[in-house]
Amino acid sequence: MTENATKSSAADGVRPGPDPSLTADDILRAAEEMVPLLRERAAATDESRRIGDDILRRMEDAGFLHILKPKKYEGLELTDHEHAMVTLTLARGCPSTAWVFSVLSAGNIALLGFPEEVQEEVWEADPYATLTGNINLNPKAKVERVQGGYRLSGQWGFCSGSDFSKWLMFNAPAGENGEGHMFLVDQKEAATIDDWFPTGMRGTGSRSMVVEDVFVPDRRVMPMRDLGRRIEERRSLHPTFDALWSSFPAACRFPFAAVAVGAALGAADHFAEAAASATRVASAVGGVSKLADQEYVATEFAEAAGELEMARMLVDQRSSEAAQRAAAHRPTTLHELTRDTRDNALVTRVALRNVQRIAALVGAKGGNPKHPVSLAKRDVEMAAHHVTLNWRRAAIDYMATVAKG
């Protein structure tokens, strides 16, 4: 949208986008300022299995969902670095909120793979419209070719953020070879199955979505294999949006690993704040010991906190390097891609190991599901299951790249 179009939209009752003068520093500061509220609401978010409407509104008002959006649609055109660090920061307060932010923010890039008329269709009426769904192929989905498009039926699970997203993207087989195609569907044409009852990351609302015989016009369908190439083609449409020079999907955004690291750091924050007054039963025969007075607590926590800080620094460094590559319009090399993928899995391993160490220091009190360390531990354990964070796969791919020289 042009400036005049933005003013016109506001006059027509369309909610205008965030302040276009917001800087990266403004965004990161706003994320830090949200952490206390997110900590306060984390247990309630976990129990309700969704983030609050007011929390989403705060993220919108702060400009978070416009970080990876072109200026034409009132975006801020910021970088992979801001995406990663906002994700990590929010996760220190509530990992589920950070996960939803990361998914919806990255979805803006996926939407840019579709034609300009689709981008207009989504964002002209609502600059805050977001995209989520599931890009894994559902071979059981039914796709029928009809005049002007397709009719789509199927069910897809793990649709994080679907409580709020106005558009959904699903991968279903189409064409003579039945290869995966991305179908962009209006959320109003889908139904929700309330099947999200995990042990961790409960607040992401990652429920299954179903569509039954929904018409999807050709403009909102594309082969999955073409998505990365088409995003590259949009560079000419949005020439000042450097993030379009990142690879897609972009490991350098640390979309899920940053959640794990931030969650574990949040557990460390809580333990450090409570350590001075926290106690544990001294032995089977009774007595009480102060945690801060125990040498084993000091050595375990110091190492855990140090390793988590190193993981945070690695996310910071790699995402910053990616932003610099994009600003120079230099494509990501295969070595850089496999290294960043390795580091996503690596920092997640560090987060998982150390949040479990901190939980062990808390002891039986951590059995309370509302205990901040218990919440963080379960969230990291759940996040670590994500397919993109598979350490063995990432290590094998990285080694193959290194061996080739």
Which one of 128, 149, 169 terminates a domain? Answer: 128
| Backbone dihedral region for residue 74 (phi beyond 0: left; psi -120 to 50: alpha; all else: beta) | left
Query: What's the domain range around 112?
Result: 3-128
Query: Does a structural domain hold residue 244?
Result: no
Query: Does a structural domain hold residue 241?
Result: no
Here the tokens at position 77 are 């055109």
Could you read off the pLDDT tens digit of each residue along the chain, which spans 405 residues?
A: 445 445 445 556 788 999 999 999 999 999 999 999 999 999 999 999 999 999 999 999 999 999 999 999 999 999 999 999 999 999 999 999 999 999 999 999 999 999 999 999 999 989 999 999 999 999 999 999 999 999 999 999 999 999 999 999 999 999 888 999 999 999 999 999 999 999 999 999 999 999 999 999 999 999 999 999 999 999 999 999 999 999 888 999 999 999 999 999 999 999 999 877 776 666 666 667 777 778 888 899 999 999 999 999 999 999 999 999 999 999 999 999 999 999 999 999 999 999 999 999 988 888 889 999 999 999 999 999 999 999 999 999 999 999 886
Here the tokens at position 322 are 């990616």
Please say whether the beta carbons of 196 and 169 come within 8 A: no
pLDDT at 405: 66
Here the tokens at position 401 are 């790249």
Query: Does a structural domain hold residue 339?
Result: yes
Which one of 73, 94, 128 terminates a domain? Answer: 128
Q: Are residues 149 and 119 in the same domain?
A: no
pTM: 0.93
pLDDT at 1: 47
pLDDT in tens, 294-346: 888 889 999 999 999 999 999 999 999 999 999 999 999 999 999 999 999 99
List, edge to edge, every strand of the sheet that includes 142-146: 142-146, 149-159, 207-217, 191-193
Distances (CA, A) of 38 to 52, 268, 353, 381: 10, 16, 24, 20
CATH assignment of the domain containing 309: 1.20.140.10
pLDDT at 383: 97
Spatial separation of the C-alpha atoms in residues 159 and 288, rounded to whole Å: 46
User: Considering Cα of 233, then 236, then 238, then 241, what sign does the dihedral take?
Assistant: positive
Could you give the dihedral angle defined by the CA atoms of residues 265, 268, 273 and 279, in that order, rounded to the nearest 10 degrees? 160
Which one of 128, 162, 188 terminates a domain? Answer: 128
Query: Does a structural domain hold residue 238?
Result: no
Q: Are residues 264 and 345 in the same domain?
A: yes
Here the tokens at position 137 are 């192929």
Spatial separation of the C-alpha atoms in residues 350 and 253, rounded to whole Å: 18
* Helix (H) or strand (E) run with residue 193 in it: strand 191-193
pLDDT at 404: 81
Here the tokens at position 331 are 């494509």
Local structure of residue 368 (DSSP, 8 states): S
DSSP string, 295-310: HHHHHHHHHHHHHHHH
Helix residue spans in 49-162 (DSSP H): 53-62, 80-93, 95-111, 116-123
Q: Are residues 155 and 111 in the same domain?
A: no
pLDDT at 284: 63
Q: What are phi and psi of 245, to 5 degrees?
A: -90, -5
pLDDT in tens, 238-280: 999 999 999 888 999 999 999 999 999 999 999 999 877 776 6
